Amino acid sequence: MSPSRKIRVLIAKPGLDGHDRGAKVVARALRDAGMEVIYTGLRQTPEMIVRAAIDESVDVIGLSILSGAHMALFPRVMELLRKEGADDILVIGGGIIPEDDIPELKKHGIAEIFGPGTPLDEIVDYIRKHVKV
Amino acid sequence: MKMVDEEERREIQSALEAWEKGPVAKTVSRFPERREAFATPSGITVKRLYTPLDVDSLKYNRDLGFPGAYPFTRGVQPTMYRGRLWTMRQYSGFATARETNERFRYLLEQGQTGLSVAFDLPTQIGYDSDHPMARGEVGKVGVAIDSLADMEVLFDSIPLDRVSTSMTINAPAAVLLAMYIAVAEKQGVPMEKLRGTIQNDILKEYVARGTYIFPPQESMRLITDIFKFCSEKMPLWNTISISGYHIREAGSTAVQEVAFTLADGIAYVQAAIDAGLDVDKFASRLSFFFGSHSNFFEEVAKFRAARRLWARIMRERFGAREDRSCRMRFHTQTAGCTLTAQQPENNVVRVTLQALQAVLGGTQSLHTNSRDEALSLPTEESVRIALRTQQIIAFETGVTDTVDPLAGSYFIESLTDEIERRAMEYIKKIDEMGGAPRAIEKGFIQREITQSAYEHQRLVDSGERVVVGVNKFVIEEGHTFDYMRVDPEAERRQIERVRSVRASRDQSAVDDALAALRAAAEGTDNLMPFILDAVRAYATLGEICDVLRGVFGEYRAPDVL
Amino acid sequence: MRVEDLVRGVLEGKRRPLARLITMIENEDPQASEALRLLYRHTGRAHIIGITGPPGSGKSTLVTRMTAEYRRRGRTVGIVAVDPSSPFSGGALLGDRIRMQEHSLDEGVFVRSMGTRGHLGGIARATSDVVRAIDASGKDVIIVETVGAGQSEVEIIDIAHTVVVVDVPGSGDDIQAIKAGIMEIADIFVVNKMDLPGADRKVSEINAMLDLDQKMGEWRPPVLLTNGRTGEGVPELVDKIDEHMVFLRESGLLEEKGLQRSRDELHQIMEYRLTRELLQHLRGRPEYERAIKMIAQRHDDPYSVAQRLIAEFLVELSRSGGGDEDGG
């Protein structure tokens, strides 16, 4: 790994909810862990997220959602990534996601779900461990 | 509080010093205290002991006074809960109007005294259920309302002259208010009899909650139009609920919650005055909304400080003549962000304490969260426990039997003072920037909130701030909860519904009403009557908002991180 | 992916290969140089515009509005938004995309966020290569947005044909907002947020400063008013930017600047390569270490030693035909 190599992460909020506290706090933590974090803002469609991920060549996409629309939107993101041949990107999720939904989301290719109360370092470590560099 | 004269002051001072040097020093040398220094989450130092010396500068009549009178530190009504208890108001709404109507009727049967409507996100952002952006969101966090037809079902068999209804709606508040008026008309209830609240607080949407549609200036116009309309036609309606709750949920401290909420309040009052309204004509219908967080005394003091500071702002800054214009009435919700997904039963205890704080702080209405809300929407059983929590406080504990029972506590009064002082400092800073809308545009408020949120998370991660079950007293657990699930078919049904409404209405009446609304939006007329006409013709929420989007444009968030 | 495939993809205007190449450039991947070598002949077509100004001057919003205007005029746009990396962690929070959502699905727009990363050659070197890659992919206009703080604003002049300096009315310490250094690089001034009080005063202040400028050439930077929120004044800004390009072309400055730039770049590359190869040649040789010791003990001086080592290296280089190894 060249010394200037940085892990690039897209933090995206799919759906319509405006609760971006978690997204912003995670974004800061990743920055403080030396990563480059691209934040997209609210109300992102899966199409917008995938486009941003490709243009920005990110290693990781972090999806944060609290509205309950994850079962509709997360799989759609994965589907579009596959269509674009960009499914090598590590996709993780967070927010309010009932435990029962997690196996189904993983089946669609979401690598991990970080629920409320996850320590920031756990997310940082997970990314460092799973991004192929 | 001038509880002591000069001589007694000196006596206390020397006794205090002797105590510090004697018994305290001795004890601390053998058993050090748990921490070097203690502080509230707002960063206010908490001393070992509070004495009359700490409230020395308080003047009782000036700073505390009597309940129901300026500066309202001790409460907004003379008898408070001895007269009437707070309104127990559980925020609810999910899926379709039919299902929410059933939940409402259940809650009223259970002894709830006011309704609180949660709308789904497409409704809050002014999209009809069949809009592409609404996909997956219909009926998820609240009820989907597309047109008057849905509103009719939502309040079916609920007499609107006998309940008060709070609607958590902001950017399209005018439209939902118009629908409520129209439903009442059909029930034969005139609008001057309607009681309730619309949240209608757009500024906090820009900083903390995110359901904005239009740019600030145009949003402020809609808000002042509502103020004007209601001051003439709906004397019992609360035209705005200036909300600190979401600012707090976004991560602010208690001091910031007070400061930013009141700064927003100042902006609304100023806008209404600038639009030509007399402050005493509308100010008494302003209401507030706060969170009740974890730190017990800081929260109680926060409510008291906010009340006093607002009274002073209204009188000193805006020259309000009437006492009732200076009276801060507020709703409280226990803090959703303190709920843990781990050991969710513990949340019942958290909610109990937070609800007690709100009552000791003199709230006018209260929502208690359900234990499972960190996991999903609450089940009926969880909602019932949450409501019972309020009822236990109200009927079993006796805390309601005297007004403002914590007043006069050296600690509480000192904290109340300090919170007011620190909040005022923030407000001054925001004034220097040109007021809340400018401070938001510059990203100042957002950055302050995010910084506090980040610091909080760091403290939790390091274990310095304990969250039971999360970073201490952790157990291995398998979740045994039943999750409340929104029927996935609800979205499809709602889409069909809005389409059939569009197909069956008098289209030319809709077109005319929307054209008239467009013309009014381009001019300066009050928009409320035009929106009311459009609603009555069964124009949909999305259609009405699209007309306004066309004229007003849409808000783009600044890139604040 | 093979470099040839990557290059072909970029030339065909595909997003993924372009995005990947940019990552390689940012990571100082040796293969990036090879790709840039192959792409070089296909660059030089885009109009490169630098936008700089103090934080809070509304640059991103303005860039979004300009992009919309270019798209209306049928031109494709690349945007490079540069934000400072944290000096502590080396990480960065890049939020410019928040502003640019309305173009987020437009095939004719490519947006890339960059952290400054403390590149050895300053932001200019990496950014210039990134811009070159986007240029090769066929975008008509490339807008480089940098925060006007510290070095980066001055370096923008090394990259852009046209530099737009953005400021807002009444930013208090006016002179501090538009510092002397940044004054000199502007081809166009924009007073954004023209609806705020003091906009006209700001315009006269800038004009007054321009009146004092002794070194000004034929092009006097115009001072424009815009409102990024409503888009007011943006078509005029885009007109002026076009006008500036015409001026550069007709005055011969474009060619002159191009020559100067090629000269500077060639110098830079040669200097870098020579230094690197010289050091590679010397590294670990016992006589090199001995020479250093001699200097330290004052038995020799660094001036003579440097001269001798370079001379020896050049002789060796000419004998071997040397330095065909790629990279850098």
How many whole angstroms from its chain centre is CA A22?
12
Beta bridge partners of B197: B166, B238
Please check whether residue A18 touches B, CB under 8 A: yes
Smallest Cβ distance to C105: which of A8, A30, A48? Answer: A48
Tell which wins on pLDDT, A2 or C202: C202
End-to-end CA distance of chain A: 7
> For an interface test with B, which of C79, C86, C93, C98 has the most B Cβ atoms less than 10 Å from its Cβ?
C98
- Out of 3.40.190.10, 3.40.50.720, 1.20.1250.20, 3.40.50.280, the CATH code matching A41-123 is 3.40.50.280
Chain A residues lying within 8 Å of B124, measured CB to CB: 16
Contact call for residues C179 and C157 (beta carbons, < 8 A) = no
| Separation in Å, CA of B552 to nearest CA in chain C | 10
- State the pLDDT at residue C171: 60
- State the pLDDT at residue A117: 82
- State the pLDDT at residue C175: 46
- State the pLDDT at residue C121: 46
Give the separation between CA A105 and CA A75, rounded to whole angstroms: 7
Smallest Cβ distance to B559: which of C99, C229, C230? Answer: C99
- State the pLDDT at residue B488: 77
What tens digit of pLDDT does each residue of C110-135 get? 999 998 886 544 566 788 899 999 99
| Separation in Å, CA of A30 to nearest CA in chain C | 8
* Three-state SS at B218: helix
The pLDDT-based confidence of C324 (bands split at 50, 70, 90) is: very low
Give the separation between CA C200 and CA C195, rounded to whole angstroms: 10
Chain B residues lying within 8 Å of A116, measured CB to CB: 339-341, 374
- State the pLDDT at residue C141: 98
What tens digit of pLDDT does each residue of B182-224 get? 999 999 999 999 999 999 999 999 999 999 999 999 999 999 9
Amino acid found at C323: G
- State the pLDDT at residue C4: 93
| Residue labelled with tokens 């952790």 | B474
Helix (H) or strand (E) holding C23: helix C15-26
Can you spell out the DSSP letters for A100-133?
GGHHHHHHTT--EEE-TT--HHHHHHHHHHHS--
Q: What region does B338 belong to: left with phi over 0, alpha with psi -120 to 50, or beta?
A: alpha
Sequence spans of domains, chain C: 1-42, 44-251, 259-320
* pLDDT above 90: residue C265: no
* pLDDT above 60: residue A2: no
| Separation in Å, CA of A127 to nearest CA in chain C | 14
Smallest Cβ distance to A67: which of B141, B251, B561? Answer: B141
Give the B-side interface with C, CB within 8 Å.
215, 442-443, 553, 556-561
Q: How does DSSP classify residue A44?
A: B
Contact call for residues B538 and B148 (beta carbons, < 8 A) = yes
Chain C neighbours, 3+ Cβ pairs < 8 A: A, B
Please check whether residue A47 touches B, CB under 8 A: no
- B75: nearest Cα among B253, B83, B89: B83
Q: Are A37 and C94 in contact (CB < 8 Å)?
A: yes
How many whole angstroms from its chain centre is CA A105?
13
Q: Could you tell me the fold of the domain covering C44-251?
A: Rossmann fold (3.40.50)
Side-chain-facing half-sphere of B370: CA atoms under 13 Å? 20
Tell which wins on pLDDT, A115 or B76: B76
Chain A residues lying within 8 Å of C112, measured CB to CB: 55-56
| Separation in Å, CA of C287 to nearest CA in chain A | 30
Q: Are B377 and A27 in contact (CB < 8 Å)?
A: no
- Closest residue on chain C to B215 (Cα): C229
What tens digit of pLDDT does each residue of C41-74 get? 999 999 999 998 887 788 889 999 999 999 999 9
The pLDDT-based confidence of C325 (bands split at 50, 70, 90) is: very low
- State the pLDDT at residue B4: 72
Smallest Cβ distance to C95: which of B553, B556, B561? Answer: B561
Q: How distant, in Å, are the alpha carbons of B45, B441, B450, C325 from that of B260?
A: 21, 14, 13, 61
The pLDDT-based confidence of C181 (bands split at 50, 70, 90) is: low
Q: Are A27 and C115 in contact (CB < 8 Å)?
A: no
What tens digit of pLDDT does each residue of C187-199 get? 999 999 898 888 9
Instruction: Report the 3 state secondary structure along B259-319.
Output: HHHHHHHHHHHHHHHHCCCCHHHHHHHEEEEEEECCCHHHHHHHHHHHHHHHHHHHHHHCC
Which of B289-293, C226-230, C271-275 bottoms out in mean pLDDT, i.e. has the lowest? C271-275
Domains of chain B: 6-55 (no CATH), 65-462 (3.20.20.240)
Q: How distant, in Å, are the alpha carbons of C3, C15, C41, C162 from that of C45?
A: 22, 18, 10, 14
Contact call for residues A42 and A70 (beta carbons, < 8 A) = no
What tens digit of pLDDT does each residue of C65-92 get? 999 999 999 999 999 998 888 888 889 9
Average pLDDT, chain A: 93
Q: Are B125 and A16 in contact (CB < 8 Å)?
A: yes
- State the pLDDT at residue A3: 52
Q: Are A54 and C117 in contact (CB < 8 Å)?
A: no
| Percent of chain C whose predicted confidence (pLDDT) is above 90 | 52
**Residues of chain B scoring pLDDT < 70:** 1-3, 93, 479-484, 559-561
What tens digit of pLDDT does each residue of B144-165 get? 999 999 999 999 999 999 999 9
- State the pLDDT at residue B482: 63
